[in-house]
Structure 1
Amino acid sequence: MSALDRVVKPKTKRAKRFLEHREPKLNENVKNAMLIKGGNASNTVTASLKDIYALKKPNCILYKKKNMTRPFEDQTSIEFFSKKSDCSLFIFGSHNKKRPNNLIFGRMFDFHVLDMIELGVEKFVSLKDIKSWKCPEGTKPLLIFAGDNFEVNEDYRRLKSLLIDFFRGPTVSAVRLAGLEHVLHFTAVDGKIYMRSYKVLMKKSGCRTPRIELEEMGPSFDFVMRRTHLASDDLYKQSMKLPKALLGKKKKNISHNTFGTKFGRIHMQKQDLGKLQTRKMKGLKKRPGDVTAVDQESPQKKQRN
């Protein structure tokens, strides 16, 4: 048994609360991310990590010291930092002659690496280079993905899922109009991924709904996809599995249409319409001298029946 897998019993109440905070829950906490700098990092990589840290705060940890590791060759260091800091997302930045200005986006499952996608930074504009108003810390962004590759190509589809996990922020039940302040736009075209960050400006429109304008606030990235390390279909399906308590019991014979209207199907026994009680009226009463259709049947037909 390794040092990471051994069971630790708390000796103080503070340690007990700390371990309870890390226990599995039906509704998990917000995913934290760690930003790690490799042994050789350029100024572009360092500035990129700082700007992504500014977007992701407060659910993010920035490691300032250099770490001599290579995630695609040895993942033990990344898994150790994930267990230590309770982070399920990470970005590893490095720079070398073969792969300059390199960012590795990854996520963990049960403190083991699930997916890793390596992106090269071809063009970068930092937050400081764009003079405009910035969004406050902790703002939940709107995520927009443009490009057929995000739906057709498996690597791009997994990258889209990874970016959603990384930038989605906390799960909320409702959002007010004034809270829509930040937009992250990802475009996949011609083998490149363009990431742009905008601030939402709400201006007067003469009606109740304001006129929306987008102002670029940074950071701005032009990525190119390099290496990928994707989980198998079985492991990926296992990581997406929801607990039974969240699924709830399925209600039979109940359906909803596209507008959310609820429909129910009722099963009833077959009714005998001959015994159906109708409204009693003098005109519907049978008189002694009246002849019905049954009485008019021929005696031969009755005999056959």
Structure 2
Amino acid sequence: MGLMQRVVKPSTARGKKHVINREPKIIENHKQTLFLQGHKTSPTAVQCLKDFYHLKKPDGKMMSRKNDILPFEDATPIEGFSKKNDASMFCFASHNKKRPNNIVLGRMYDHNLLDMFELGIENYKSLSAFPASKFTYGAKPCLIFAGEPFEMNHEYKRLQNIFVDFFQREVVKGIRLQGVEHVLSFTAANERVYLRSYRILLKKSGTRTPRVELEEIGPSVDFVLRRNKLASEELFKLACKRPKALKAKKVQNVKRDAFANKLGRVHVDKMNMEKLQTRKMKGLKKSYADRKKERGDRAVKRAAAAASGTVRTPSGAGVAKKARKA
């Protein structure tokens, strides 16, 4: 018989809360990001790593020590850090002669590496290089993607997906206009990705709708796409699978248009317009001639019924029976 693995249960309320927070959920927690430095780094790569950490706050954790890690050769140490800190994304800074000023963005699925991209830093300006005032701490950025590669190239599509996963925060149902104050713009052109950061300024316009201006606040980076390690289509589809409890039940004859307006189709039987009750108005009353004609028609029907030996009146079948005996 094999030895049974002993399960250690938490004995304190804090430990129980920690275990419950790690359990699988229908609606996941917002994603935590690890920020790590390699064994060899450069001031540019480290400063870019710190700027990304400031953009990601408070959903990020900066590791203080340098780590002898090569993600594209062996991702096991990063997977261990991910499991220990319950983080599903990482940002890694490194530097060497062949690939200077490196930033590696990656994400996990079930604490195993899903995909990652290695980006080279060119023409870098940090947050501190811009004297403009910065955005509010923890604000949700508005992400803008421009460029044909984001629509046509498979690698750039996956890179766009990682950027969205990296910079988005918790999901909210609604947001006010004054809450949108930060813009991150990604432009793909000339085999590069240009990252620019702006602050939204709402100025007076003389109307209810304010005049919108953009003020660059940094960081400003030109990224060169170097190496990547992408998950297979099956694994990526499995990682994006939604639980059945979150899937909206399909309602027949109801759909939504491009603006999320609900459109419904109702099936109604053909209506008998002769029995339709309309509003009683003097103009809709029958004329004297029409009423006289209807009385004449009823008299003719009664005479025909009497000639045939059956008289049908509103009193029922008893009257008709007496008419036949007579």
For the aligned pair, the TM-score class normalised by the smaller chain equals 0.7 to 0.9
How far, CA to CA, are the matches of 1:216 and 1:205 in structure 2?
21
Q: CA deviation at 1:12?
A: 2.1
Task: Go from structure 1 to structure 2 and tell me whether the alpha carbon gap of 1:8 and 1:70 turns closer, same or farther (over 3 Å shift).
Answer: farther
Instruction: Please give the secondary structure, in 1, of the residue aligned with 2:19.
Output: helix
| Maintained 8 Å contact 2:186/2:196 | yes
Instruction: Please give the secondary structure, in 2, of the residue aligned with 1:70.
Output: coil
Task: Go from structure 1 to structure 2 and tell me whether the alpha carbon gap of 1:284 and 1:40 turns closer, same or farther (over 3 Å shift).
Answer: farther
TM-score by length of 2: 0.81
Equivalence for 1:104? 104
Instruction: Please give the secondary structure, in 1, of the residue aligned with 2:205.
Output: coil
Q: CA deviation at 1:75?
A: 1.0
Equivalence for 2:53? 53
Matched, 1:187 2:173: no
For structure 1, the residue ranges without an aligned partner over 5 or more in a row are: 291-305
Q: CA deviation at 1:123?
A: 1.7
Amino acid at match of 2:29: N
For structure 2, the residue ranges without an aligned partner over 5 or more in a row are: 278-285, 302-326
Q: CA deviation at 1:248?
A: 3.1
Equivalence for 2:134? 134
Q: CA deviation at 1:83?
A: 0.6
Task: Provide, for residues 216-258 of structure 1, a one-character-per-residue CA deviation record: whole Å limited to 9, x for no partner.
Answer: 1011110000111001001111111111111132222323344
Q: CA deviation at 1:276?
A: 7.2
Equivalence for 1:262? 263
Amino acid at match of 1:54: H
TM-score by length of 1: 0.86
Which region of structure 1 is more displaced relative to structure 2, 259-268 or 150-159? 259-268
Q: CA deviation at 1:120?
A: 0.5
How far, CA to CA, are the matches of 2:266 and 2:241 in structure 1?
30
Equivalence for 1:303? none
Q: CA RMSD in A?
A: 2.4
Q: CA deviation at 1:8?
A: 5.0
How far, CA to CA, are the matches of 2:205 and 2:264 in structure 1?
40
Task: Provide, for residues 27-58 of structure 1, a one-character-per-residue CA deviation record: whole Å limited to 9, x for no partner.
Answer: 21111101110000000111111111111101
| Maintained 8 Å contact 2:106/2:114 | yes
Task: Go from structure 1 to structure 2 and tell me whether the alpha carbon gap of 1:73 and 1:258 turns closer, same or farther (over 3 Å shift).
Answer: closer
Q: Highest CA radius of gyration, 1 or 2? A: 2
State, as a whole percentage, how many aligned pairs show the same letter: 48
User: Of Structure 1 and Structure 2, which has the larger fraction of its residues in helix?
Assistant: 2
Task: Provide, for residues 243-285 of structure 1, a one-character-per-residue CA deviation record: whole Å limited to 9, x for no partner.
Answer: 11111322223233445143133375xx797x97567984678
| Maintained 8 Å contact 2:254/2:262 | no
Q: CA deviation at 1:73?
A: 1.0
Task: Go from structure 1 to structure 2 and tell me whether the alpha carbon gap of 1:228 and 1:250 turns closer, same or farther (over 3 Å shift).
Answer: same
How far, CA to CA, are the matches of 1:217 and 1:166 in structure 2?
19
Equivalence for 1:77? 77
Report the number of matched residues.
Answer: 283
Q: CA deviation at 1:104?
A: 0.6
